Amino acid sequence: MTFNAFLTSMFGGLGQGLLYAPVAIGVFMSLRIMKKPDLTIEGTFLFGAVIAMTMLHNNAHFALTLIVAPLGGALTGLTTALIHTKLKIDAIISGLLVTLALFTVSLLVMGSSNISAPFDSFIFAPVRDQLIAVGLRPFNALLWSQIIVGGIILAVVIAILYFLYNTSFGLSIRATGDNEYMSRSNSVNTDSRKISSLVISNSITGLAGALVAQQQNVANLATGAGTLIIGLASLVIGEVITPKSGSMLTRFLFISVGSIIYFLCISVIIFTGILSSEWTRLLQAAFALIALCIPKLRQMLPIWFAKLRQMLPIWFARLRQRLLKWLTQRAEEAK
């Protein structure tokens, strides 16, 4: 294991973290802004990946996939939102129903259990070719192309969302999530805000699915597995390192950093050989569990330290008494 191999592993984790960052932002929009978990994420990610790979397989331009995949994601979010708001079905159940349906829809779109396309049709290909032209090795150029493309698209997504959530419409979405009844009393159509939030979050998730499918060079029914957990873990890690007085832009940026940290940690463990790549799913679940426990641990640590400070004098006093008693006994036996 050389240092160059370690750097390669880190660059791979960085690129993957950037490509998955929109998923974490999508989870943030539903779970933190609207205060409702959206379980459509996995189905939307799969659907976006299937749309992009099917289009590329049929010789479509990659730029078109960056439009159609988010539209497909928006459609899934709209479906979930309508089931929840108009049919009055619980948000979690609505998400599960749509995700279940999307597995069949994705299979019908692909026409088979998996689908792939030539690398030259991917969004990374032009960037990789330019990097090779300036002297980078093909594999290193591929890694850097994923980092560059992921970084640019993530920056565009964050810029659009930051602008949107600072408009009156975006502020009304945030107000609906904070206090739906108060928003309704101020003549805000809360159902339309819920629908808009789910449409936006699922559209960027569909975009992430399209990018990751091109990174993995394949789309199949297992593509979206674990996506919700990855997004949730990245969100929690990002929130842990986010300053308390951070603006919406700061929160978006640190959530993206949380996604990068998540994948870098997995890359380090796999690189060191502690666990093989077959353990990736277990690693993802373990990191997600640890990330979810961090906020609780941060709350409990001051309490534990306070109790420890209270108990330490008592323990030392008991230890001193026992030591004195033992020394006294030894002295009496010596006499």
* pLDDT tens-digit map of 207-222: 999 999 999 998 988 8
Q: Residue 335: helix, strand or coil by DSSP?
A: coil
User: Could you give the residue ranges of the DSSP H alpha helices within 91-189?
Assistant: 91-110, 124-133, 138-164, 168-178, 180-185
252 has pLDDT over 90: yes
For position 250, what pLDDT does the model report?
92
Q: Is 176 exposed, middle or buried (0-12, 13-18, 19+ CB in 10 A)?
A: buried
Cβ(258)–Cβ(237) below 8 Å: yes
Residue carrying structure tokens 């990610």: 45
Q: Which pair of tokens denotes residue 325?
A: 């008693």
For position 327, what pLDDT does the model report?
78
CB atoms inside a 10 Å sphere around CB 11:
18
For position 104, what pLDDT does the model report?
92
For position 239, what pLDDT does the model report?
86
What average pLDDT does range 45-64 have in this prediction? 94
What average pLDDT does range 148-177 have in this prediction? 93
Radius of gyration of the chain (CA): 25
Q: How confident is the model at residue 251 (pLDDT cuts 50, 70, 90)?
A: very high
Point out which residues pair with 220 in neighbouring strands. 114
97 has pLDDT over 60: yes
Q: At what angle do helices 227-241 and 3-28 cross, to 10 degrees?
A: 90
Q: What separation in angstroms does the CA of 147 have from each of 156, 232, 258?
A: 14, 22, 16
**Helix and strand tally (H, E) in the chain?**
12, 2
For position 83, what pLDDT does the model report?
95
Q: Which residues contact 290 (CB under 8 A, 6 or more apart)?
A: none
CB atoms inside a 10 Å sphere around CB 120:
12
What amino acid occupies position 209?
G
Q: What is the pTM of this model?
A: 0.85
162 has pLDDT over 80: yes
Mean pLDDT, the chain, whole residue set? 88
Dihedrals phi, psi of 115, to nearest 5 degrees = -150, 145
Cβ(179)–Cβ(42) below 8 Å: no
Q: Which pair of tokens denotes residue 143?
A: 């890694």
What amino acid occupies position 330?
R
User: Could you give the residue ranges of the DSSP H alpha helices within 220-279?
Assistant: 227-241, 248-272
Q: Residue 58: helix, strand or coil by DSSP?
A: coil
For position 267, what pLDDT does the model report?
84
Q: What separation in angstroms does the CA of 236 have from each of 32, 58, 177?
A: 11, 39, 19
- Can you list the domains of the chain with their CATH numbers? 3-274 (1.10.3470)
285 has pLDDT over 80: no
Dihedrals phi, psi of 223, to nearest 5 degrees = -60, -40
Point out which residues pair with 219 in neighbouring strands. 115
Closest CA to 247 of 179, 169, 158: 158
